[in-house]
Amino acid sequence: MVVDYESLWALEEQPMHPDFDYWEHALTYYRALRAHGVTVDVVTSESDLSTYRALVAPTHHLVDDVERLPTRVRLWERESVGG
């Protein structure tokens, strides 16, 4: 699971809802994955993501260096966004 401090800071400046809590939101994903038996590494967006088969990035605002992302993530992003 990718946590991103820039996204956290952006949400602190302009929250989606007054009661929104970045860490509680991330914990919701973490708990759901763990409830299904998935081992979860919590990493930052600066980490080497190439070794992961799946990435979960709750409330991730921006990706500033697309070329750093593994090819399969770039392909998924292009398909899901329609680019």
DSSP 16-71: SSTT--HHHHHHHHHHHHHHTT-----EETTS--TT-S----TT----S-GGGS-H
Rg (CA), the chain: 13
The values of phi and psi at residue 80, to 5°, are -75, -30
pLDDT of amino acid 36? 94
Q: 15-67 pLDDT, tens per residue?
A: 778 888 888 888 999 999 999 999 999 998 778 877 888 888 887 765 555 55
Is 0.75 topped by the overall pTM?
A: no
Question: Directed axis angle between helix 5-13 and helix 22-35, to 10°?
Answer: 130
